[in-house]
Amino acid sequence: MNQRVKNIKTQLLSDNWYTLNNINFDYQLESGNWVNQSRESYDRGNGATILLYNKEKQTVILIQQFRMPTYLNGNDKGMIIETCGGLLDGDDPMTCIIKETEEEVGYKIQNVKKVFESYMSPGAVTEVIHFFIAEYADGMKVSEGGGLDSEHEEIEILELDFNNTLDMIRTGAIKDAKTIMLLQYAQINKLLE
């Protein structure tokens, strides 16, 4: 444990959807002085996301769905283009991403590779996202996808030319961080050429 952190006190602020806590603690600065700090920390669990790509067609599969926080922050329709994924909900990351891929986009994938993991907003959110890639082919399609009715998901599946997605980052049509990270990973590692 970090010896520069002590006297941690947690106060539950909300447990409505996920958990929001106020954390009060003492933190020792490099100077040796101790300061009291208070931070809010949102815990929604950890997640997984995947970039599905097809070398032959030079395409990727992304999804589009409504995201309320983006709507509240100026995204006029609230729709966002992103990679498929979801919360672990007790599963290991690999099991989660295989299940989410089938639910959201209708593909039963194989040869899934974990490429990295990342805190997405470490100043306020505890979540770690596990990032995966996998090749897909038309023969792997087992359903229409679109998400689960029980979760009220309305997911539009987008099969896009890979080079066009890079342009969509530049134009602002793709603004989701995890999606940008995976598309740039694909570009840097020459997954599609």
pLDDT per position as a tens digit, 172-183: 999 999 999 999
Residues 14-57 have pLDDT tens digits of 999 899 999 999 999 999 999 999 999 999 999 999 999 999 99
For the chain, the domains span 5-43, 47-188
Which pLDDT value is given to residue 99?
Answer: 95
How far CA 98 is from CA of 105, 108, 111, 172, 181, in Å, comes to 11, 7, 10, 29, 20
pLDDT reading at 147 higher than 90: no
Query: Which of the listed CATH numbers 3.90.79.10, 3.40.50.150, 3.65.10.10, 3.30.70.360 matches domain 47-188?
Result: 3.90.79.10
Mean pLDDT score across all residues of the chain:
94
**What is the pTM assigned to this prediction?**
0.92
